[in-house]
Structure 1
Amino acid sequence: MSFGPGREGLAAEAFELWRHLVAPDPPAVPDVELTFVTGEGPVPPGATVVAPSPTETYALSGAITRAVLTSLIGRRILLHAGTIDTPRLGVVVLVGPSGAGKSTATARLGAEGAYLSDELTIIDPDTFEVTGYPKPVSRSIPGSRAKRDVSLPSLHLMPACAGGSPDLIVLLHRDRGNGSENGPPGLERMPLASALLRLIGQTSSLNRVPGGLAALARLIDSAGGALRARYHEASELADLLDHAPAPISEWWAEVEACRPSHDVQPRDLMLAPFDQALALETGVLVLARREAGHLEGLLGVIWELLRVHGGLSLDLLQDLVAEEIGPHPNAARRVRSAADRLISGGWVIRA
């Protein structure tokens, strides 16, 4: 990192916040190089503007995180998650959108072990080992929704640059009310389809990781299934995780695109382009760019028939559905309705 004129104060504060990651012998050609300026006057090409403000350290760490993330796209599973490694719980990944309490929960649980990240969790898609990104912890400024970074020593956190594969994958659901709507704190294993959809929503460019969707399913399997934690305060999480429910496992298989077995005719139904897909006990889960969908029941049957056979007329599709799942008195209407839903959802198109 380098800092332009007027950013000397930010440079000194950034050094204190990030000093545990400062390389004693930096490489001649760094993987990521950033220059920060005030934005007052001409901005050099490639420079990042961080205007002076109470939130400037948070803005700086955001720019660093985006640069690191960009450099790893297509090579790692990148989760919007905090990760800690404790002797009691092992490697714990805490997943959730902004506001779910990741940073607070990470700091609370990480005090008894090693801190790997509060925001970006980097996972090898083959070994599932976690690469640490122990950035300063982002905390809300009292009386404001804005955030500022806090040093690790001030939170009694010990940074770690590497960890093993996750032992627990926890999707955080923080109840900010009095708990009357969602019930008391609790921890439950999630069905595979639900866990995949939630996790995909917290990944960056998973579709660009070769076999990324299958790797994510294997990762969930290796941790005994993902957990959903419903809680009010971070102090409740430790006790919940100490009594995690028994591991679960569900069947799944990776599926690939097939070449059409015959010439596609105008108005035939055919699959929209997709990146990766899994067959599940409950249907098919499809990943197309940044969108993921769980196609259950008849929707999954139709999608799979179109994958295998290529373009099909509605009449032929109805015949194949009957062969697959048996006749139904309202088969034509049901297949037509399901096909319309797949088309409106963007999973099926007409030739």
Structure 2
Amino acid sequence: MPDVELTFVTGEGPVPPGATVVAPSPTETYALSGAITRAVLTSLIGRRILLHAGTIDTPRLGVVVLVGPSGAGKSTATARLGAEGAYLSDELTIIDPDTFEVTGYPKPVSRSIPGSRAKRDVSLPSLHLMPACAGGSPDLIVLLHRDRGNGSENGPPGLERMPLASALLRLIGQTSSLNRVPGGLAALARVIDSAGGALRARYHEASELADLLDHAPAPISEWWAEVEACRPSHDVQPRDLMLAPFDQALALETGVLVLARREAGLLEGLLGVIWELLRVHGGLSLDLLQDLVAEEIGPHPDAARHVRSAADRLISGGWVIRA
């Protein structure tokens, strides 16, 4: 990981340009670690898969990546599971897109302050955590779903393998600048494949996770392929339909997953067929598109209406534009 140079000052006096002022309080040290994290993120954009996730490495489970938005319980779960092995990070997981190896970022664990919306950093020794600077590729990728009510209202704790499309959409939402990593979307799919598919964990308390992960479902694998952009096969005419610019895409068993800047969308059924035809042929008139759809999936008595409706949905979603 590249060196990151930052300037921090405490107390009174002049502040150097670009410096961050840090007061000696729990919330200010949390702000300090946040500033360092943002600098690390900036230095790695386009070079690593960056997940909003905690990571631990244990003899029993291997490298476990715990993914989820704020409030999902990542930090608590990371501290609980990490006590039996090595701690790599509680909120920033750095993955090499070529080797899938995790680079440790063992910052202090962030915790909410009771009765406040603020957070503070807790030292690793006080949580009995042993920091590590590197780990292997993920053995388990776990998307956390924490039920805050009782079990009768929300269902019992459980663990299930997620379909690849669902896992990718959830994980993309917890990445930073994935579109700027060359082949990043395909690399993320390979990471999921290498872990036997992502897991969805429904739980109430972090203490339940260890037992759930000890009995993880069997690995799964799904077909997918990376999609390349194509040049139009003919001159695009005014009012032709054509693809909106996109960064990366994957063909999946259920459709096409498209990544454009920070947005990702799964185009299923007729939407995926139309998107793929426009990718291959470039700009197409609506009439020609209808003919090609009929060749692709067969005729339908109401084909014109269905194709027009699907095209409108793709346009409104920002995946297709008119020339």
Do the two structures share a fold, i.e. TM-score over 0.5? yes
Paired with 1:70 and 1:210, the residues of 2 have a C-alpha distance of 16
Give CA-to-partner distance per residue, 1:306-341, whole Å, 9 cap, x none: 000000000000000000000111111110000000
Give CA-to-partner distance per residue, 1:155-185, whole Å, 9 cap, x none: 0001110000000000000111123443110
Report what 1:118 is aligned to. Answer: 90
Aligned to 1:175, which of 136, 144, 147? Answer: 147
- Identity over the aligned pairs, expressed in percent? 98
Shift of 1:42: 5.5
Distance 1:55 1:195, change over 3 A: same
Shift of 1:52: 5.8
Shift of 1:141: 1.4
SS at match of 2:151: coil
Report what 1:263 is aligned to. Answer: 235
Answer yes or no: is the 8 Å Cα contact 2:26–2:121 preserved in 1: no
Give CA-to-partner distance per residue, 1:125-158, whole Å, 9 cap, x none: 0110000001111111122221111111100001
Distance 1:129 1:136, change over 3 A: same
Residue 58 (str. 1) matches residue 30 (str. 2): yes
Paired with 1:91 and 1:315, the residues of 2 have a C-alpha distance of 52
Report what 1:90 is aligned to. Answer: 62
Tell which deviates more after alignment, 181-190 or 35-44: 35-44
Unaligned runs of 5+ in 1: 1-28
Give TM-score scaled by structure 2 length.
0.97
Give CA-to-partner distance per residue, 1:68-111, whole Å, 9 cap, x none: 11111111100000000000000000000111100000000000
Answer yes or no: is the 8 Å Cα contact 2:294–2:300 preserved in 1: yes
Shift of 1:38: 5.7
For residues 1-351 of structure 1, the aligned pairs below 5 Å read 31-37=3-9, 43-50=15-22, 53-351=25-323
Paired with 2:244 and 2:258, the residues of 1 have a C-alpha distance of 11
Distance 1:35 1:323, change over 3 A: same
Distance 1:30 1:294, change over 3 A: closer
Paired with 2:259 and 2:185, the residues of 1 have a C-alpha distance of 8
Shift of 1:57: 1.1
Distance 1:298 1:39, change over 3 A: farther
Tell which deviates more after alignment, 58-67 or 44-53: 44-53
Shift of 1:44: 2.5
Paired with 1:288 and 1:335, the residues of 2 have a C-alpha distance of 23
Tell which deviates more after alignment, 41-50 or 159-168: 41-50
Paired with 2:140 and 2:240, the residues of 1 have a C-alpha distance of 45
SS at match of 1:245: coil
Tell which deviates more after alignment, 252-261 or 42-51: 42-51
Shift of 1:48: 2.1
Shift of 1:39: 9.3
Give CA-to-partner distance per residue, 1:210-232, whole Å, 9 cap, x none: 00000000000000000000000
Give CA-to-partner distance per residue, 1:186-222, whole Å, 9 cap, x none: 0000000000000000000000100000000000000
Paired with 2:309 and 2:14, the residues of 1 have a C-alpha distance of 58
Answer yes or no: is the 8 Å Cα contact 2:63–2:135 preserved in 1: yes
Give TM-score scaled by structure 1 length.
0.89
Paired with 1:40 and 1:309, the residues of 2 have a C-alpha distance of 65
Tell which deviates more after alignment, 135-144 or 255-264: 135-144
Q: After TM superposition, which residue ranges in structure 1, 4 or more long, deviate above 6 angstroms? A: none
Shift of 1:342: 0.4
RMSD: 1.5
Tell which deviates more after alignment, 180-189 or 309-318: 180-189
SS at match of 1:55: helix
Answer yes or no: is the 8 Å Cα contact 2:23–2:29 preserved in 1: no
Distance 1:150 1:325, change over 3 A: same
SS at match of 1:285: strand
Tell which deviates more after alignment, 196-205 or 31-40: 31-40
Tell which deviates more after alignment, 49-58 or 212-221: 49-58
Tell which deviates more after alignment, 139-148 or 323-332: 139-148
Paired with 2:255 and 2:149, the residues of 1 have a C-alpha distance of 35
Unaligned runs of 5+ in 2: none
Give CA-to-partner distance per residue, 1:24-68, whole Å, 9 cap, x none: xxxxx9821111246977543211244565411111110010101
Distance 1:163 1:58, change over 3 A: same
Answer yes or no: is the 8 Å Cα contact 2:160–2:200 preserved in 1: yes
Paired with 2:7 and 2:163, the residues of 1 have a C-alpha distance of 45
